[in-house]
A and B are shown apart, each in its own frame.
Chain A
Amino acid sequence: MSPKLRSALELTGIYAIFAFMTVIILYPIVWAIGMSLNPGQSLYSSSIIPENWSLEHYKWLFTDPRSNYVTWYKNSMIVSGCAALFSVIITSVVAFSFSRYKFAGRTSALYTFLILQMFPVMMAMVALYIFLHLVGLLDSLTGLILIYVGSQIPFNAWLVKGYLDTIPRELDEAARIDGAGHFTVFWRIVLPLAKPILAVVALFNFMTPLFDFILPSIVLNSPENYTIALGLFNFINDQFSNNFTRFTAGAILIAIPVAVVYLFLQRYLISGLTAGGTKG
């Protein structure tokens, strides 16, 4: 076999693999879009290419008085927005201290973080439930936000600390010689340079609450407090085949903006993760 023919065959093989992957990737997505356009509610009578397609499920979500979709969307934005904002603030401050200062308890705290980040929040569900009950934050978005912000600290503090360690300390020292205090160094020197990793933290902590349904299902119990994931899940939780088409409509509306953001930002996500991750 000539090298040229061999190379062409290989290339064909590679493209065949990509084609195969594309089918596997797109099939469920296209199928879900098709489902959402089916007029009926039953999965049985629905097909991937509906005969008489309609947007009735989308309309129902926004216009029907029984639909809480807009409220859920708003709740999710509040929870995700606050979780992202407070996570960035608290994490950057903690990571800055760990990266730049020597203080008693520093090393043991770092080890503790490393171990804590391995434990899933799930393990402590009962305790979280009782704790929120005791402080009266059950069935409230505040309680949910507090848990999200608290439980992300160990992992993200490591991630950000790893990144901050790569910012030359000479910069801090120069600023200090010029008379900058602790807080000025943090705010004016370190924080602006840490923007890429903080964007990663913000994005992660925006996305996690947006699509988490297990914690909301424990904490929230009135439908007007539901986040979008929990609300959508309840569309199909009770009678699976009955509301599935409606679920797909609601899910697509939230999945599209997220997918677009992810595709745009994935390069930064990856570089942020490897920069903080491999050094940390």
Chain B
Amino acid sequence: MPQHQEQKQLTNNQKKFNPNVAMVLSILLAGLGQIYNKRYMKGISFIILEIAFILATFDFLWLGLWGIMTLGTIPGVDHSIYLLVYGIVSLIIIAFAVTLYVFNVRDAHKQAILLNNGKQPPSFKQAIRNGYDKAFPYIMTAPGLVLLIFTVVFPLLFAVALAFTNYDLYNSPPRNLVEWIGFNNFKDLATIPIWQDTFISVFSWTIIWTLVATSFQIVVGLVLAVLVNDKRVKFKKTIRTILILPWAVPGFVSILIFAAMFNDEFGAINRDIIIPLIGGDGLPWLTDPTYTKIVLIMIQTWLGYPFVFALFSGVLQSVSSEWYEAAEVDGATRWQKFRNITLPHVLFATAPLLIIQYTTNFNNFNIIYLFNEGGPAVQGQNAGGTDILISWVYKLTFDTNNYSMAAAISLIIGLIVSIFAFFQFRRTNSFKEEGNI
């Protein structure tokens, strides 16, 4: 019997506030649903906002959408690249508007249901108060978000878009139009011999570089940290300071100094060390790719180990000595102690930062470019002998102005980087920490 009554009341109310009607109304025009729900102020401000938005942005959005579809139609008049920029900005604005619209529809729907369940609509003052509470995190993040969109998201979207165009030195506005060419850049990369050869050699060197240089950094850092941590070693503080020194010197200064030291003709390494000790004319550090590669890995180890060393030193000091004592009682050898206590402890605590070391080196443009500009040149390919993907992208962009191919390679870098990101996801537990407000 009470059930029946409840149902009756519900149908009564449904006549008053039908959530579906509210939803449909707010889809037709933002705010109508809110007015239907008797939230007049809210509804009217939504309507005003929507009309203002349409009036203010319609022309721009139209131009942008037309631009990104066609990239211009009249050479010399339409500037394809600006049109592409307008198009991407339009898409970002539309994405925002759609998000707000969906919010409006859901709000109308939810309000109607709440009203049906007998909840009184809040007073205007209260509504403002609730609105402030709800909006606070958005207000706080908004400036950062806007900045992020324009300096990171938009440029990345632009780079993605360029990868599917033929924008290069010969097809450059305002003289010529740029066109969408689908996956042709990627096809060229895979099929045209010079691109194919270059890509394979640059890519394989990038992988070797990342793995070897970073692993060296980590191993050297770990060994030194363990050695300094030895109970018998004295002057720990002084030794630590010296070992950390390469980190304190600005990287670009050290790299340029190394570049001068390894200069084939008048560098200190050849002049003061190799020739007096071994004789001959010195080694071709900067003119033979193999030598350059070896030197690059050594320099990166020099530059990068102190960070890992400092990191490990900090963690090592937090390993409880009781564990080692317990292991000694059980008769563990030193290697076993290291293998089963030190290593897992240290690696577990620092894994995310170590993964970042790998990604940093994968895109370590500075050392490659500053040391030898990716050189020496190699026959039969259009990148230098020690170019990694990112420095090749730089050269394609600024030396040969082959923007679209540079963007295509950037996209490949992005895909590889996402794989790293995936591993980072699995390790991270920050998502479990939920906000509570």
Closest to A278 in B: B349
Contact A273 B353 (CB under 8 A): yes
Question: Shortest distance in angstroms between A264's beta carbon and chain B's nearest beta carbon?
Answer: 10
Chain A residues lying within 8 Å of B252, measured Cβ to Cβ, are: 211-213, 229, 233
Is A270 located at the chain interface by the 8 A CB criterion?
yes
Closest to A106 in B: B435
Contact B242 A22 (CB under 8 A): yes
Q: Say which size band chain B's interface belongs to.
A: 35 or more
Which residues does A use to contact B, with CB under 8 Å?
A: 7, 10-11, 14-15, 17-18, 21-22, 24-26, 28-29, 31-32, 35, 43-44, 48, 90-91, 93-94, 96-104, 106-107, 109-111, 114-116, 118-128, 130-131, 134, 146-147, 149-151, 153-154, 157-158, 161-162, 165, 169, 182, 186, 207, 210-214, 218, 229, 232-233, 236, 240-241, 244, 247-248, 251, 254-255, 258-260, 262-263, 266-267, 269-271, 273-274, 277-280
Is B397 located at the chain interface by the 8 A CB criterion?
yes
Contact B155 A28 (CB under 8 A): no
**Known contacts being A24-B302, A125-B394, A277-B352, is A17 close to B148, with CB within 8 Å?**
no
Contact A90 B144 (CB under 8 A): yes
A233 to B255, CA, bound (A): 11
Select B147's contact among A97, A114, A150, A251, beta carbons within 8 Å: A150
Is B49 located at the chain interface by the 8 A CB criterion?
no
A-B contact pairs, 27 of them (CB 8 A): A11-B232, A14-B227, A18-B239, A25-B242, A25-B245, A26-B242, A29-B245, A91-B144, A97-B136, A101-B137, A106-B435, A115-B418, A118-B421, A118-B424, A119-B414, A123-B390, A126-B407, A127-B159, A150-B150, A151-B151, A182-B133, A232-B253, A255-B249, A266-B244, A267-B314, A274-B314, A274-B315
Chain B residues lying within 8 Å of A126, measured Cβ to Cβ, are: 158-159, 162, 397, 403, 406-407
Question: Shortest distance in angstroms between A231's beta carbon and chain B's nearest beta carbon?
Answer: 12
Contact A123 B144 (CB under 8 A): no
Closest to A217 in B: B398
Is B365 located at the chain interface by the 8 A CB criterion?
yes
Contact B403 A21 (CB under 8 A): no
Is B91 located at the chain interface by the 8 A CB criterion?
no
A233 to B252, CA, bound (A): 9
Chain A residues lying within 8 Å of B85, measured Cβ to Cβ, are: 130-131, 134
A258 to B250, CA, bound (A): 8
A182 to B137, CA, bound (A): 9
> Chain A: interface secondary structure?
helix
Which 6 residue pairs spanning A and B have beta carbons closest together? A150-B151, A124-B155, A127-B155, A127-B158, A262-B248, A259-B248
A18 to B85, CA, bound (A): 55
Is B156 located at the chain interface by the 8 A CB criterion?
yes
A111 to B252, CA, bound (A): 32
Is B56 located at the chain interface by the 8 A CB criterion?
no
Contact A182 B136 (CB under 8 A): yes
Contact A131 B403 (CB under 8 A): no
- Of B35-43, B59-67, B257-265, which binds chain A? B257-265
A167 to B268, CA, bound (A): 52
Chain A residues lying within 8 Å of B144, measured Cβ to Cβ, are: 90-91, 93-94, 153, 157
A54 to B179, CA, bound (A): 60
Contact B152 A154 (CB under 8 A): yes
- Known pairs A97-B141, A100-B436, A120-B365; list 14 more (Cβ under 8 Å): A43-B260, A106-B435, A116-B156, A124-B159, A131-B150, A131-B155, A146-B147, A146-B151, A150-B148, A211-B250, A218-B398, A241-B263, A259-B249, A262-B247
One digit per residue, 1 when the CB lies within 8 angstroms of any chain A CB and 0 when it does not, for chain B 278-313 equals 000000000000000000000000100000001101
Question: Shortest distance in angstroms between A104's beta carbon and chain B's nearest beta carbon?
Answer: 8
A22 to B239, CA, bound (A): 9
Chain A residues lying within 8 Å of B363, measured Cβ to Cβ, are: 120, 122
Closest to A99 in B: B435
Chain B residues lying within 8 Å of A165, measured Cβ to Cβ, are: 430, 433
Contact B365 A101 (CB under 8 A): no
A272 to B203, CA, bound (A): 35
Closest to B273 in A: A27
Is B81 located at the chain interface by the 8 A CB criterion?
yes
Contact A124 B244 (CB under 8 A): no
Is B1 located at the chain interface by the 8 A CB criterion?
no
Closest to B227 in A: A14
Contact B136 A101 (CB under 8 A): yes
A219 to B133, CA, bound (A): 41
